[in-house]
């Protein structure tokens, strides 16, 4: 019984210590994505940023959705990563739709 309690306490403490601050941000880019190569270029550069967990591009909606660990990378660092790929990015506000050309 004592071992079980000790195990549960240790498990609870380790869960709190290992908790990650996973965030989601939606960006739009200039120039706009218009083909599969644009998607590949963006994904190829952003995937090397520490803390990036998932990248979803949508050509039709002109968005790049990124799930990231906020303890390892910031939105400003992600914006700089876009510029390394040759794109200027802007984080969309919640519910905002990007303008399409």
**pLDDT tens for the 101 residues of the chain, in order:** 677 766 666 555 555 445 578 999 999 999 999 999 999 999 999 999 999 999 999 999 999 999 999 999 999 999 999 999 999 999 999 888 888 77
Q: Residue 10 has what pLDDT? A: 59
What predicted TM-score, i.e. pTM, was given to this entire model? 0.78
DSSP 8-state assignment for residue 53: E
Omega before 64 within 30 of 0, i.e. cis: no
Q: Residue 5 has what pLDDT? A: 67
Q: Of 84, 83, 89, whose CA–CA distance to 57 is shortest? A: 89
> What phi and psi values does residue 33 have, to the nearest 5 degrees?
-70, 135
Q: Residue 2 has what pLDDT? A: 75
């Amino acid at each position: 019984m004592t071992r079980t309690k000790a195990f549960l306490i240790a498990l609870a403490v380790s869960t709190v210590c290992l908790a990650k601050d996973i965030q989601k941000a939606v960006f739009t880019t200039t120039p706009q994505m218009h083909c599969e190569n644009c998607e590949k270029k963006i994904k190829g550069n952003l995937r090397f940023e520490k803390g990036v967990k998932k990248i979803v591009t949508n050509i039709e909606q002109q968005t790049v959705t990124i799930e990231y660990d906020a303890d390892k990378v910031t939105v400003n660092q992600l914006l700089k990563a876009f510029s390394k790929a040759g794109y200027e990015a802007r984080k969309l506000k919640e519910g905002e739709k990007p303008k399409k050309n």
